[in-house]
């Protein structure tokens, strides 16, 4: 009889398992790593307790500015006491439930849309209806809702308006530009190239300035175009150019064989692109596209320079109130959290989408 070796019951060496094993392999694997670990622990020990004391123990949450100064810790009251102005800006106070409801509709739609199995016709219709209702809530003028001038739209609803419309309109436009740049028709190709390279050659700020200062000069007397719309167009044009370049990279990664197989089946150009090439190309460029969308989302805060009161600007105005001066750290932490939530959701969703799309093939 041969000796049967007990391989199934073997356990990994002790140092590799348990807390001690984790600490050893991750924190003290070499002299240099041990040194770094010690230094970092030292700094954390110096900083964290003070931070917790400032943010939570000594902090004031619902006081006046003066009381905050007396307490010495973080003054979250600057946020809580001014929350409605920071979020809704100049939207008439008694009607602020309208943008609130619009945002709730938007978030509901966004959350539902995260699930790919819901990407059916009814979701498209829901978005159309949702957009209509949101517009109605903001503008008013129907069903007994008093109209609210778009100059009053401000704060978080404005930021969301600029980003959501900006990004959803910029993406398809960017894809079209990328296709245009690949086109065999010289006119379309050079138009796309000129557009993309021009836009990429100027900063967003200058586009915003041009759209708000120069553009009206070319319009006939008496015709004005909404300031928000102009900023929106500038953001869309800017973002689309960057999306176009990313998508072009994806298109180049698709082998010629895929084009040829599609063509040899008799598919025409739109079918070939929509059914074969773009699904593969766009999947490849999910990570860089989301990178662009995230920076575009943050860049919407640049509209302050053309006088729009987005989330950043309403926060700044709050801070210029003498009663609340000096608490900018707290206020900025608050809006940083809002921006972070938006960006982090986008990037985690992109990772999830990638995982789902790569499953099976």
Partner 1 sequence: MSNELPKNNAASSPGDPIVEIIEMHKWFDDFHVLKNINLTVHKGERIIICGPSGSGKSTLIRCINRLEEHQRGRIIVDGIELTNDLKNIEKIREEVGMVFQHFNLFPHLTILENLTLGPVWVRKTPKAEAEETAMFFLEKVHIADQARKYPGQLSGGQQQRVAIARSLCMKPKVMLFDEPTSALDPEMIKEVLDVMIDLAKEGMTMLVVSHEMGFAKSAAHRVLFMDDGEILEENTPVDFFENPQHERTKLFLSQILH
Tokens of 160: 């969301």
Q: In 10 A of CB 242, how many CB atoms?
A: 21
The nearer residue to partner 1, 249 or 279, going by C-beta atoms, is 279
Burial environment of residue 95 by CB neighbours within 10 A (0 to 12, 13 to 18, 19 or more): middle
Name the nearest CA neighbour of 246 among 294, 208, 203. Answer: 294
Distance CA 273, CA 259 (A): 9
Query: Which segments of the chain does DSSP mark as H helices, in order?
Result: 18-27, 31-52, 65-71, 77-80, 83-88, 97-113, 121-139, 155-182, 186-200, 204-209, 215-218, 227-252, 256-264, 269-271, 278-284, 286-299, 311-319, 328-358
> What is the smallest separation between the CB atom of 282 and partner 1, expressed in angstroms?
10
> What is the smallest separation between the CB atom of 240 and partner 1, expressed in angstroms?
25
268 forms part of the interface with partner 1 (CB under 8 A): yes
Contact 99, 157 (CB under 8 A): yes
Name the nearest CA neighbour of 138 among 126, 152, 128. Answer: 152
The 281-310 contact track toward partner 1, x by CB under 8 A, reads --x---------------------------
The nearer residue to partner 1, 248 or 272, going by C-beta atoms, is 272
67 forms part of the interface with partner 1 (CB under 8 A): no
The nearer residue to partner 1, 139 or 283, going by C-beta atoms, is 283
The 227-266 contact track toward partner 1, x by CB under 8 A, reads ----------------------------x-xx-xxxxxxx
Tokens of 255: 């082998």
The nearer residue to partner 1, 34 or 252, going by C-beta atoms, is 252
Write out the binding residues for partner 1, residues 131-190 only, by CB under 8 A.
Answer: none
> What is the smallest separation between the CB atom of 185 and partner 1, expressed in angstroms?
13
The nearer residue to partner 1, 5 or 355, going by C-beta atoms, is 355
The nearer residue to partner 1, 81 or 272, going by C-beta atoms, is 272
117 forms part of the interface with partner 1 (CB under 8 A): no
> What is the smallest separation between the CB atom of 264 and partner 1, expressed in angstroms?
4
The nearer residue to partner 1, 26 or 255, going by C-beta atoms, is 255
> What is the smallest separation between the CB atom of 59 and partner 1, expressed in angstroms?
52
Write out the binding residues for partner 1, residues 332-361 only, by CB under 8 A.
Answer: 360-361
Q: Binding-site residue total for partner 1 (CB under 8 A)? A: 20
Q: In 10 A of CB 202, how many CB atoms?
A: 12
- Please list the residues that pair with 310 across neighbouring strands: 155
- Please list the residues that pair with 155 across neighbouring strands: 310
114, HSE (Cβ side, Cα atoms, 13 Å): 14
The nearer residue to partner 1, 172 or 279, going by C-beta atoms, is 279
Q: Which of 103, 208, 228, 276 binds partner 1 (CB under 8 A)?
A: 276
Q: Summarize as ranges the residues that interact with partner 1 (CB under 8 A).
A: 255, 257-258, 260-268, 271, 275-276, 279-280, 283, 360-361
């Amino acid at each position: 009889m041969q000796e049967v070796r007990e391989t199934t019951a073997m356990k990994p060496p002790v140092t590799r398992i348990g807390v001690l094993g984790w600490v050893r392999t991750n924190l003290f694997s070499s002299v240099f790593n041990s040194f770094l670990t010690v230094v970092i622990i030292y700094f954390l020990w110096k900083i964290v307790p003070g931070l917790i004391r400032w943010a939570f123990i000594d902090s004031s949450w619902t006081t006046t500015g003066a009381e905050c100064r007396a307490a010495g810790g973080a003054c979250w009251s600057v946020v809580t006491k001014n929350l409605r102005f920071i979020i809704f800006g100049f939207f008439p106070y008694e009607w602020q439930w309208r943008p609130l409801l619009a945002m709730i509709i938007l978030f509901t739609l966004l959350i539902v849309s995260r699930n790919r199995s819901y990407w059916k016709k009814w979701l498209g219709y829901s978005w159309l209806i949702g957009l209509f209702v949101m517009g109605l809530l903001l503008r008013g003028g129907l069903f007994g809702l008093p109209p609210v001038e778009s100059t009053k739209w401000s704060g978080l609803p404005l930021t969301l308006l600029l980003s959501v419309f900006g990004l959803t309109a910029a993406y398809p436009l960017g894809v079209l530009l990328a296709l245009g740049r690949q086109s065999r028709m010289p006119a379309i190709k050079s138009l796309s190239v000129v557009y993309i390279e021009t836009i990429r050659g100027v900063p967003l700020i200058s586009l915003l300035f041009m759209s708000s200062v120069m553009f009206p000069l070319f319009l006939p007397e008496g015709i004005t175009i909404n300031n928000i719309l102009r900023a929106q167009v500038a953001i869309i044009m800017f973002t689309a150019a960057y999306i176009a370049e990313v998508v072009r990279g994806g298109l180049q990664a698709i082998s010629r064989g895929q084009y040829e197989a599609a063509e040899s089946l008799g598919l025409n150009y739109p079918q070939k692109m929509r059914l074969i090439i773009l699904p593969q190309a766009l999947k490849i460029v999910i990570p860089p596209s989301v990178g662009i969308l995230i920076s575009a989302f943050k860049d919407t805060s640049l509209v302050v320079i053309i006088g729009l009161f987005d989330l950043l600007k309403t926060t700044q105005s709050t801070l210029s109130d003498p009663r609340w001066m000096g608490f900018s750290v707290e206020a900025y932490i608050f809006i940083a959290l809002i921006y972070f939530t938006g960006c982090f959701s986008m990037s985690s969703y992109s990772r999830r989408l990638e995982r789902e799309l790569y499953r099976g093939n």
